[in-house]
Amino acid sequence: MRFFKTFLAATVIMIVLDVLWLGSVVNSFYLQQLDGLARIEEGKFVLTYWSAGMAYVVMALALTLFALPRVTEQDPWYTAAAWSGLLGFCLYGIYDFTNYATLLRWPLPFMAADLLWGTAQFAITAGILQVSRKILA
Residue 137 confidence (pLDDT) above 80:
no
Return the pLDDT at 23: 87
pTM for this entry = 0.94
Q: Which residue(s) pair with 44 in the sheet?
A: 41
pLDDT tens sequence across 109-129: 999 999 999 999 999 999 999
Contact 48, 35 (CB under 8 A): no
Separation between Cα atoms, residue 38 and residue 91, nearest integer Å: 20
Residue 136 confidence (pLDDT) above 80:
no
Return the pLDDT at 1: 84
Compute the C-alpha angle 38/8/47, nearest 5°.
15
Task: Give burial (CB, 10 Å; 0-12/13-18/19+) of 56.
Answer: middle
Return the pLDDT at 24: 87
Question: So where are the chain's domains?
Answer: 2-136
What angle in degrees, to the nearest 10, is found between the helix axes of 2-20 and 49-62?
Answer: 130
pLDDT tens sequence across 11-41: 999 999 999 999 888 999 999 999 999 999 9
Separation between Cα atoms, residue 24 and residue 124, nearest integer Å: 18
Return the pLDDT at 80: 97
Return the pLDDT at 135: 77
